[in-house]
Amino acid sequence: MEEILLNIQNPEIENNVFDVRGLNLWYGNDQALKNINMQIEKNKITAIIGPSGCGKSTFIKTLNRMIENVPIVRTTGEILYHGNDIFDKSMRVEELRTKVGMVFQKPNPFPKSIFENVVYGPKIHGIKDKKLLMEIAEASLKSAALWDEVKDRLNDNAYGLSGGQQQRLCIARCLAVQPDVILMDEPTSALDPIATLKIEELMDSLKQEYTIAIVTHSMQQAARISDKTAFFLMGDLIEYDKTEAIFSNPRDKRTEDYITGRFG
């Protein structure tokens, strides 16, 4: 960790949280990511779009090495997180995932109380003080815009919440670990439009303090919330630019075809 902190001081790479260099990824013999080069900037929302099977979920799950839970995955190339290669032997995956949190496609709270869900992360990282845990829970739930809805029933089971509330609980649970980056893998695809809107508003407020990378199927969502957009197609990164540029003036024909709905 010390090394990471030292590198943050270095102004050259200060602005890039992730620097992906020549990343290739295979599932067995099928190549899912082909020579990806891209930087993810600090305190920005980076959207990753593309048709199903283009490798966008694979890519985001590689950033916190969650993809390694699939046994047949093989990678080459490097991903620098604040200047340190995440595939380096000295990098503990538990340490990486503490700094790079994740929110999943389907809300996945634990079958425990709302409170226990939020303090799960702090607890496993060694915080035992009850008062401190309560403060963390309140702060995290407030940041996730859920506090007012659940403050009177913190000890109720999390599965009593609606889908949208569950997803915000998962975001609160992620925030409680005090990550640096939040990866979101289609976080609103299981939610209705109102819940989706709430999550989008939340993301906008979160980017003051966190760096967010979001995979989304919805181009409107990418256009609404993101600062930069990457378009993936069949494992290639086709185009990566400011969101306005991608949507108003795409350089690649395939990007244009996709965002105008000609395929996908």
Partner 1 sequence: MSAVKSEFLREGREDIMLETDQMRALERYKVKIDSGRIERRVRLNNGLKHLFSLSTVFALVVLAILLYRIGVQSAGWLDLQFLTSNLSRFADKAGIYGAILGTVYLMFIVVPVTLVLGVSTAIYLEEYASKGRIQRFIKVNISNLASVPSVIFGLLGLAVFGRMLNLGSSILAGGLTMSLLVLPTVVVASQEAIKAVPGFLREASYGMGADKWTTIRKVVLPVALPGILTGSILAMSRAIGETAPLVVLGIPTLILKIPNSIMDDFTALPIQIYYWTLDTVLTPEYANLAAATIVVLLAVLFVLNSVAIIIRNKFQKRF
Q: Which residues bind partner 1 (CB under 8 A)?
A: 64, 66, 69, 71, 94-99, 101-102, 104, 106, 108-112, 120-121, 124-125, 159, 170, 173-174, 177
Closest CB to partner 1 among residues 55, 107: 107
Q: What minimum distance in Å lies between the beta carbon of 72 and partner 1?
A: 10
CB of 9 to partner 1, least distance (A): 24
What Rg do the C-alpha atoms of the chain give, in angstroms?
18
Nearer to partner 1, 177 or 223 (CB): 177
C-beta closer to partner 1: residue 178 or 218: 178
Pairing state between β 30-41 and 181-185: unpaired
Query: Could you tell me the sign of the dihedral formed by the alpha carbons of 143, 220, 62, 19, in that order?
Result: negative
- What phi-psi label fits residue 62: left (phi over 0), alpha (psi between -120 and 50 degrees) or beta? alpha
User: Nearer Cβ to partner 1, position 27 or 104?
Assistant: 104
When the beta carbons of 158 and 223 are compared against partner 1, the nearer one is: 158
How far are the Cα atoms of 43, 195, 211 from residue 230, in angstroms, in the given order?
16, 25, 15
CA distances from 120 to 114, 124, 215, 261 (A): 10, 6, 25, 42
Query: In the complex, what is the shortest distance from the CB of residue 121 to partner 1, in angstroms, rounded to a whole number?
Result: 4
Q: Whose CA is closest to 183, among 86, 110, 91? A: 86
Place of tokens 């997180």: 81
Of 161 and 174, nearer to partner 1 (C-beta) is 174
Q: Which residues pair with 241 in a beta bridge?
A: 229
Beta carbon of residue 23, minimum distance to partner 1 (angstroms, whole number): 20
What is the smallest separation between the CB atom of 241 and partner 1, expressed in angstroms?
A: 29
Least separation in angstroms between residue 99's CB and partner 1 is 8
Cβ atoms of 125 and 178 within 8 Å: the answer is no
